[in-house]
Amino acid sequence: MYLGRIVSVGMNKEKKPFIAYRVSSRSFPNRMAKSFEDKAAIIPKEGYEKDIFENAYIAYNCVKVVNDVAIVSNGSHTDVIADKIAIGMNIKDALSLSLLAMDYEKDDYNTPRIAGVITSNTDESNYECYIGIITDSKLLVEKVKYGAATFISTYECQSPEKVSFTATNSKEAAKLILDEGEFKKFTNPVASVGSIFNGQWTIESINL
Ligand X SMILES: NC(=O)c1ncn([C@@H]2O[C@H](COP(=O)(O)O)[C@@H](O)[C@H]2O)c1NC=O
3-class SS of residue 41: strand
Cα separations (Å) of 28 from 2, 9, 22, 192? 14, 25, 14, 15
Q: Which residues contact 9 (CB under 8 A, 6 or more apart)?
A: 18, 19, 20, 72, 116, 117, 118, 129, 131, 144, 149, 150, 151
Evaluate whether 195 touches 180 at the Cβ level (below 8 Å).
no
Residue from 8, 12, 25, 195 touching ligand X (CB under 6 A): that is: 25
Query: Which range, of 43-51, 104-112, 144-152, 167-175, touches ligand X by CB under 6 A?
Result: 104-112
Q: From the CB of 69, what's the least distance to ligand X, in Å?
A: 21
Count Cβ neighbours within 10 Å for each residue of 124-156 and write b for 16 or more, e otherwise: eeebbbbbbbbbeeeebbbebebeebbbbbbee
Residue from 8, 35, 111, 195 touching ligand X (CB under 6 A): that is: 111
Residue 109 binds to ligand X (criterion: CB under 6 A): yes
Q: From the CB of 171, what's the least distance to ligand X, in Å?
A: 21
Using CB under 6 A as the criterion, what x/- string covers residues 44-83 for binding ligand X?
A: -----------x-xx---------------xx--------
Give the residue with the Cβ less far from ligand X, 74 or 120. 74
Residue from 35, 120, 153, 154 touching ligand X (CB under 6 A): that is: 154
Q: From the CB of 93, what's the least distance to ligand X, in Å?
A: 23
Residue from 13, 15, 26, 162 touching ligand X (CB under 6 A): that is: 26
Evaluate whether 149 touches 168 at the Cβ level (below 8 Å).
no
Footprint of ligand X on 170-199 (CB under 6 A): none
Residue 17 binds to ligand X (criterion: CB under 6 A): no
